[in-house]
Structure 1
Amino acid sequence: MKTWLKFLLTGTLIGLVFPGAALVWILYVLNEPQTPVNIWQVHEAFPLLFIVDLAPLVLGISFLILGLEVGKLRAARSLIEEEYMGALSVANIPIIMIRIGGMVEGCNEAVEKILGLPSVEIVGKNILTDFVRADAQDEIEKLFINLLQTKELHNLEIPLIDAVGNIKLVLISAKVRLNPLKKVDGFVIFGQDITQLRNQETEINRKQQLAIIGQLTGGVVHDLNNMLNIIAGNIRFLKEEPAYKDTDSEELIEDIESAAIDAVELINRLLSFSRERPAAPSEMPAKTIMEETEKLARRLIKEHDILLTFDQFNDDVRVNIDFVWFKNCLLNLINNAADSMKAGTITVAASVETSSGTKVAGSSPGNLCVSVTDEGCGIPDAELARVLEPFYTTKSPDQGTGLGLAMVDKFCQESGGYCTISSEIDIGTKVSMILPLANE
């Protein structure tokens, strides 16, 4: 029913009730039960009743006018709300409305794009438990509780999880939302998707770090290499001397040789970053490089109480890579896996995959995926995003330089592929090198 009609009926009803009640009361007071009284006689006796009779009409018209004005105001308000919601829905910035408990009441198209979901699958869910990364939920919940007192929140970076599980970084500001009684019943959140910006910053920082490595290696690496060659030559001389054939001397010489080998490996990593030593790719059977690397890996792992398994790989495919670099990368991944666990199994696997990830047989085009999976402690999400950065390491200073995984990533890129890492706490980590197959 229209607003103006509601007010007209209400006014008429009020106008009929009150004058009617007044007339009945007058008739009751003046009338004797035995003598009927004519209404016109009452009106002649009380002329004011003629004015009272007009009350329904006057009140009805008054309420009609009031109803029309209220209807106009409501229509104007509805139009403003529609325009407001329309503007919000097409705004470029994400806007989302939530209740105090975190349940989503509404969102615009920008939020749908970030999360990769239609609004019907977003509304009704809890923003914290359903869309915020688990390790950030408690901290963000505390900030929203404080928001009830501060009324406003600015420049908070939160990690959201989209429909396919990717992390989207959103910079948000928020305000409390008041109901008609001026009480807080929720929040309005305005955001900005900064995922691409953060990725660009990471890439810039990475390039700057690589430039620093290049400057470092250009100045000292060649001198270090010359000194290590002298050390290595003297080690070979000592190993051939009969005077040093006793057990203690041999152990000392082996320690010196091991340290020299580690130093050479570090120099090779530095040279690969600085491009002082360009890659030397050659086309080789994938089966051969896996078999050759397995021999070295088993010698590397023999001092650990760990089972190393190489899944059988018989696909007749070839890759065009720098084998020495590949060998160093795979051995580094196996060594990292061994360092992350006291016991258990390290699994090295190779498979041929198409671009869609479907395994194929024989020489079908695609990629060679070489993965190393451990049963170690796992890597927290916050650290997982940085493990490919040069010099970033979770090991103590005497156990790692932070160049191992960065070298693996660079090797994959130089080979035309890429590196992926997945990890779960207390379950383990899997690092994969995805390398394109050689053209037939």
Structure 2
Amino acid sequence: MPLTTTDAQHFSDSHRLEFFIDAVADYAIYTLDADGFITSWNTGAEKIKGYVASEILGQHFSRFFTTEDQANGVPTEMLAKAKAEGRYEAEGWRVRKDGTRFWSNGLVQRVLDRNGVLLGYAKITRDITERVAAHQSLLQSERRFRILVDGVTDYAIYMLDPSGMITNWNAGAERLKGYAAEEIVGQHFSKFYTREERAKGTPLRVLEAAVQNGRYEGEGWRVRKDGSRFWASVVVTPIHNDAGQLEGFAKVTRDITERRAAHEALRQSERQFRLLVSGVTDYALFMLDPNGLVTSWNAGAERIKGYTAEEIIGQHFSLFYTEHDRAAGLPGRALHTATRDGRFETEGHRVRKDGTLFWANVVIDPIRDERGELIGFAKITRDITDRRDAEIALRQAQAQRVHAQKMDALGQLTGSIVHDFNNLLTVVESYVRLGKKVGADPEMKRATESVERALQRGTALTRQLLAFSRKQGAHAEVVSLAERIEAVRGMIAGSMRKSVKLVASVGPEIWPVKVDPGELELGLVNIAFNARDAMPDGGLVTVTAENMLLSSDDNAAGLQGEFVALRVADTGIGIAPDVLPQVFEPFFTTKGPEKGTGLGLAQVYGFAQQSGGAVTIDSEVGKGTTVTVYLPRADMAVAAQSAEPEQPASANVVPLRTKGRLAGDQD
């Protein structure tokens, strides 16, 4: 019988439905007859179950159940419930063709004809193994998290709903706050705040800030169940669902009362230390960063260095060193040594803001953090200029005393020797006079003259030794240095080589002095000849004088009062520092044999001492020597000073050619 239009349409719709069902690959969609035997099978069923249609059609659907479920009648019960209720849905393990299991979500739908007679069942199965595994993993994770949170006792960790009501409570919260979960869940978290904070609306502002900024963190006083207070560190984080809606807040609170107390104690200690450091004015106490930049500055540093904190902080500490020390790299070496050895200490010149120098004792200590990393340096500087000056003055006084004792002992010894020697010369002189009277023989006359010349040299030597020992009778008189120097200038100039130039510059304004004129002239000759001999290649000898008012602190000799400083300077080879202290000793000479007696400067020393003054010598190898004789100002004016010398004392004197050596050439 041919199909009606309605039947054809129905057939076409059924065919189209089967096509769509077969195209669904993520769901196993198949039908069962009233007894549970499979009557249709889609592509999704083949993919999930592993059977092709030819293998499974006509088989009972119970084969997809585990042995345990089959034994417990689960397939039959499922069909019975679907028949009775119209549908049945369940989850459970199902078995594929290869025997592997998967977790399925299954729906059995009852199918009736138009008359309500049961035709069979439609079955839809989905493999949700991965979703279930993920869900189980989440549940396990949440379980572990709950165990972890409940196990934390140092932090109060709990949840709030969007209005601030407490929804859960961990063991740490109970220990910290004092409330059991049964007492506090459902209460508002504002009860942990002080009355003052609640009055100011702080709890509400905390939640608003957490929502607004995604997090709130702060510190403050909180209240326990027993009313006691503790200082808390608080973090509040808003919790949103997948739709972005606020579901509540996670709140973590920690009791940091002890840490805060320790921090406050540290701050107080640091404050007291800063007050202490700031109050120290005798020491410059300041900090440097690892590169040597100044980071702190106390009142003592300002007093000693001259800089205010605003002027110096941020500047490099090498600013306090002399230009020479900076060029030599001393600042960098100081920090390197402190870093390497754990400490650096030294003394040396440092520079104030105004450019003046002071002698400093410096200590630098490296500062390290808990990990041992260098974070800077502590620097202590003390101005010890006065102490150093006192030590230098003491050493000089001791050296002068030792030198004076030595020279005095030499003077006494020399005086004793010269006394005996002079007696011998007197005997010789008497025989010379006798020989002159009786000796007419030319041979005798020549011998007598030779002895007489030797006697004269011995007499001159005796005179110099007596001058050193200060036992020679002084014939002091008030003299003008300008006149005396001019008188002896010609003799000195005549003994100089052509290559040596003599310049005398002593004006009439120089005070008169009371000295033995002969000893003064002899001393000038001795100094000038030493200057000449120190310039084998030529040079310049300068004679000058200066009126000076001395105090005991102004000069190494400790003189005090009005003095004339008579200076003879040369541009010669100079005297080595280790030799300089010995030059005034009798018989000491740096010249070769037969070139000097070593008594020239000894005579100058004796003359200065006998005149009530002193003599000093300054020398630098390669640059020259200056001998300064200090002579006290005379109490009376020099008579007849109106006459002018024939040649000005300040005129340069060009030395004449020396016709012969002067007798008594000295060292």
1:225-374 → structure 2 map (5 Å cutoff)? 225-229=422-426, 242-243=442-443, 260=458, 263-272=461-470, 276-277=471-472, 279-298=474-493, 301-302=495-496, 305-311=499-505, 313-315=507-509, 318-342=512-536, 343-350=538-545, 353=547, 355=549, 367-374=563-570
Deviation at 1:196, TM superposition (A): 2.2
Deviation at 1:267, TM superposition (A): 1.3
Distance change (3 Å), C-alpha of 1:75 and 1:97: closer
Partner of 1:76: 269
Quick one: distance in 2 between partners of 1:288 and 1:186?
A: 65
For structure 2, the 5+ residue unaligned runs are 1-205, 218-233, 551-560, 637-667
TM-score for both structures, normalised by structure 2: 0.43
Partner of 1:179: 367
Q: Which has the higher helix share?
A: 1
Deviation at 1:71, TM superposition (A): 4.8
1:10-409 → structure 2 map (5 Å cutoff)? 16=216, 21=237, 23-24=239-240, 27-28=241-242, 31=243, 39=246, 42=247, 49=249, 52-53=250-251, 55=252, 58=253, 62=256, 69-84=262-277, 86-87=279-280, 89-90=281-282, 119-120=306-307, 124-125=318-319, 127=321, 176-181=364-369, 183=374, 192-193=387-388, 194-229=391-426, 242-243=442-443, 260=458, 263-272=461-470, 276-277=471-472, 279-298=474-493, 301-302=495-496, 305-311=499-505, 313-315=507-509, 318-342=512-536, 343-350=538-545, 353=547, 355=549, 367-379=563-575, 382=577, 386=581, 390=585, 395-396=590-591, 398=593, 404-405=600-601, 408=604
Quick one: distance in 1 between partners of 2:628 and 2:506?
A: 17
Quick one: distance in 2 between partners of 1:258 and 1:102?
A: 74
**8 Å contact from structure 1 (residues 329, 408) kept in 2:** yes
Deviates more, 1:323-332 or 1:224-233: 224-233
Distance change (3 Å), C-alpha of 1:411 and 1:86: farther
Distance change (3 Å), C-alpha of 1:198 and 1:103: farther
Deviation at 1:178, TM superposition (A): 0.7
Deviates more, 1:210-219 or 1:411-420: 411-420
Deviation at 1:23, TM superposition (A): 0.7
Deviation at 1:201, TM superposition (A): 1.7
Secondary structure of the corresponding residue to residue 581 of structure 2 = coil
Quick one: distance in 1 between partners of 2:431 and 2:498?
A: 29
Partner of 1:439: 635
Task: Give CA deviations for 1:7-58 in whole Å, capped at 9, x if unaligned.
Answer: xx9x99896179665513xx22xx4x8xxx6x5xx45xxxxx4xx34x4xx4
Which of 1 and 2 has greater Rg? 2
Quick one: distance in 2 between partners of 1:340 and 1:111?
A: 50
Quick one: distance in 2 between partners of 1:227 and 1:166?
A: 62
Quick one: distance in 1 between partners of 2:525 and 2:543?
A: 11
**8 Å contact from structure 1 (residues 393, 402) kept in 2:** yes
Deviation at 1:378, TM superposition (A): 3.2
Quick one: distance in 1 between partners of 2:292 and 2:444?
A: 73
Deviation at 1:397, TM superposition (A): 7.3
Q: Which has the higher strand share?
A: 2
Paired letter, 1:224: F
Paired letter, 2:566: V
**8 Å contact from structure 1 (residues 102, 126) kept in 2:** no
Quick one: distance in 2 between partners of 1:99 and 1:394?
A: 57
Deviation at 1:375, TM superposition (A): 1.5
Quick one: distance in 2 between partners of 1:333 and 1:101?
A: 56
Secondary structure of the corresponding residue to residue 386 of structure 1 = helix
**8 Å contact from structure 1 (residues 269, 403) kept in 2:** no
Secondary structure of the corresponding residue to residue 355 of structure 1 = strand
Distance change (3 Å), C-alpha of 1:142 and 1:119: same
Deviation at 1:368, TM superposition (A): 3.5
Quick one: distance in 2 between partners of 1:144 and 1:95?
A: 16
**8 Å contact from structure 2 (residues 565, 629) kept in 1:** yes
Paired letter, 1:285: S
Distance change (3 Å), C-alpha of 1:245 and 1:210: same
Paired letter, 2:573: C
Distance change (3 Å), C-alpha of 1:308 and 1:206: same
Higher relative contact order (CA 8 A, sep 6+): 1
Deviation at 1:255, TM superposition (A): 9.0
**8 Å contact from structure 2 (residues 337, 343) kept in 1:** no
TM-score for both structures, normalised by structure 1: 0.60
Secondary structure of the corresponding residue to residue 622 of structure 2 = coil
Paired letter, 2:269: A
Distance change (3 Å), C-alpha of 1:414 and 1:71: farther
Distance change (3 Å), C-alpha of 1:433 and 1:19: closer
Distance change (3 Å), C-alpha of 1:68 and 1:241: farther
Deviation at 1:177, TM superposition (A): 1.3
For structure 1, the 5+ residue unaligned runs are 1-8, 44-48, 357-364
Distance change (3 Å), C-alpha of 1:316 and 1:111: same
Distance change (3 Å), C-alpha of 1:303 and 1:152: same
Q: Please report the RMSD computed on the Cα atoms of aligned residues, expressed in angstroms.
A: 5.8
Quick one: distance in 1 between partners of 2:450 and 2:286?
A: 67
